[in-house]
């Protein structure tokens, strides 16, 4: 294993803001993954904390359906959350999440595809009741408080002063023997398997003279011309945007939700 423990900044440990240490762990995990580490080379507890925070943010923003939509039902993400919740002392959340997984597993392949295509958002939300229970439960089992305490009190946490942290992490990455080949393979795989929405955003950026920073999330409940559509949010050098795929055209919106462009995407392959 590349890193068998949690790494955070010393400043975040000393910070009175309970979220600071969670944010530090997220930054460290993101850096290691982006620079070449694989998830199974990192501490399961660091990843557990990381994905619990992702789960929380997604559910608070748009419910459990948004979380499942944006994580793609990835079993590794679900497994990390399942692993971490009991360790955080979030017993109620752990029980609720087991129900989330059971409901997801009970959906057949056709139902799941309809969910990802946005079809289920035209009818009842399959996770609405579970989302409502999550919001109520989080009042008594605050996942930020529990996650922060989990990291601060972890028996295997390393706190490094921020001025030395990046150099420390870069040194870890340099120990990967096949790093260049690994990164090249990642890039090739990512390009070959790039989803349609990402290719559309590439076209939008090219046509509008923008430089893409990152794609953040899909919003399956976005309303456009009176209909629910899946909108994809992304950041560029010109700020936050979102777009809706209408087949041969994409509608682009600014940070205020105002329509700013309609872009021809007929050259983007379907699927």
pLDDT at 271: 66
Residue with tokens 């056709």: 110
Q: Model's pTM, two decimal places?
A: 0.83
CB-based contacts of 254: which residues, under 8 Å, 6+ apart? 239, 240, 241, 260
Strands 157-160 and 259-264: unpaired
Nearest to 24 by CA among 168, 235, 190: 168
Per the CB < 8 A criterion, the answer to whether 253 and 241 are in contact is yes
pLDDT at 123: 61
**pLDDT string in tens for the chain (271-residue length):** 999 999 999 999 999 999 999 999 999 999 999 999 999 999 999 999 999 999 999 999 989 999 999 899 999 999 999 999 999 999 999 999 999 999 999 999 999 988 887 655 556 789 999 999 999 999 999 999 999 999 999 999 999 999 999 999 999 999 999 999 999 999 999 999 999 999 999 999 999 999 999 999 888 888 899 888 889 999 999 999 999 999 999 999 999 999 999 999 999 988 6
Rg from Cα positions in the chain: 20
Cα–Cα distance, 108 to 106 (Å, whole number): 6
């Amino acid at each position: 294993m590349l890193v068998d423990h949690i790494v955070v900044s010393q400043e975040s440990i000393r910070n009175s803001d309970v979220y600071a240490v969670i944010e530090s762990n997220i930054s460290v995990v993101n850096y290691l993954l982006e620079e070449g580490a694989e998830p199974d080379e990192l501490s399961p507890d660091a990843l557990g904390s990381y994905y619990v925070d992702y789960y929380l943010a997604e559910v608070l923003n748009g419910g459990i359906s948004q979380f499942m939509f944006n994580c793609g039902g990835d079993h590794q993400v679900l497994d990390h959350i399942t692993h971490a919740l009991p360790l955080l002392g979030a017993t109620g959340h752990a029980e609720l999440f087991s129900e989330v997984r059971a409901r997801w597993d009970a959906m057949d392949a056709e139902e799941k595809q309809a969910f990802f295509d946005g079809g289920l958002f035209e009818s009842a939300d399959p996770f609405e009741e579970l989302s409502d229970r999550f919001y109520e439960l989080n009042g008594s089992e605050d996942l930020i408080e529990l996650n922060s305490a989990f990291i601060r009190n972890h028996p295997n946490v390393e706190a490094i002063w921020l001025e030395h942290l990046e150099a420390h992490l870069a040194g870890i990455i340099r120990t990967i023997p096949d790093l260049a080949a690994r990164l090249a393979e990642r890039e090739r795989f990512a390009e070959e398997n790039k989803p349609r929405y990402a290719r559309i955003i590439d076209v939008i950026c090219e046509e509008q003279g923008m430089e893409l920073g990152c794609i953040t999330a899909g919003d399956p409940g976005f309303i456009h011309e009176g209909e629910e559509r899946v909108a994809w949010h992304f950041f560029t050098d010109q700020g936050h945007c979102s777009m809706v795929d209408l087949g041969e055209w994409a509608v682009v919106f600014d940070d205020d939700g105002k329509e700013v462009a309609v872009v021809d995407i007929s050259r983007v392959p379907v699927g």
